[in-house]
Amino acid sequence: MNGKDVRCPECGTINYSLYLEETDGWMECEHCGCSAHLLKAKTDDLTDVENCLWQVIRPLPSAQKKRLSLYSKALSG
């Protein structure tokens, strides 16, 4: 199995060494947190967003605030 470098279709960040075969084409961006499902690719280069068809699910803003609030509480003790 080879991990593939994948460009997030939402924010453009490259996520390195993803194993899309194990997740049936799903990925979660390390930068923006969106979930994306690769529906179709015309090329093996998954950093080329022009030739890849993605379904993108964006996290809700309230979920991000809640996650940050829990994280800051954990850090403060």
* Mean pLDDT in residue range 56-73: 65
d(CA 46, CA 19): 12
Question: pLDDT at position 66, please?
Answer: 57
pLDDT at 63 over 60: no
25 Cβ neighbours under 8 A, 6+ residues apart: 37, 38, 39
Binned at pLDDT 50, 70 and 90, residue 62 comes out as low
Measure Cα distances from 70 to 10, 34, 53, 73 in Å.
25, 19, 34, 5
Average pLDDT, the chain: 81
Short-list 44, 24, 51, CA closest to 36: 24
User: Is residue 27 a contact partner of residue 4, using CB atoms and an 8 Å limit?
Assistant: no
- Express each pLDDT in 4-17 by its tens digit: 999 998 899 999 99
pLDDT tens-digit series, residues 35-48:
999 888 887 888 87
